[in-house]
Amino acid sequence: MLLIVACRDCDRVARFLASDVAHFVDPARSLEDLPFRCRACGERNCAVEARDYDLDRRPKIIVWRPTRLW
């Protein structure tokens, strides 16, 4: 499953694997409550959409991996 995160202010789009994001946040949390911040403009006004990822017909996309820096 992919999470597609789109900034409502600057229209930047990023894609994440849901399994990667689940390591950092509670999996029972609703999609709109996930703490995403736009890298381009710094705003937290992001729309989050979940989509199936078809392994047989993989589109050419970039999938970001979340990391926690201390």
The confidence score (pLDDT) of residue 4 equals 92
Chain centroid to CA 5: how far? 4
The answer as to whether 62 is a domain residue is no
The answer as to whether 61 is a domain residue is no
Q: Give the domain CATH number at 39.
A: 2.20.28
Note down the domain range covering 16: 2-51
The answer as to whether 36 is a domain residue is yes
| Cα distance between residue 35 and residue 22, in whole Å | 12
The confidence score (pLDDT) of residue 25 equals 86
Domain count, the chain: 1
| Cα distance between residue 30 and residue 41, in whole Å | 24
The answer as to whether 66 is a domain residue is no
The answer as to whether 58 is a domain residue is no
The answer as to whether 13 is a domain residue is yes
- 1-49 residue pLDDT tens: 889 999 999 999 999 988 888 888 887 888 888 889 998 999 999 999 9
The answer as to whether 46 is a domain residue is yes
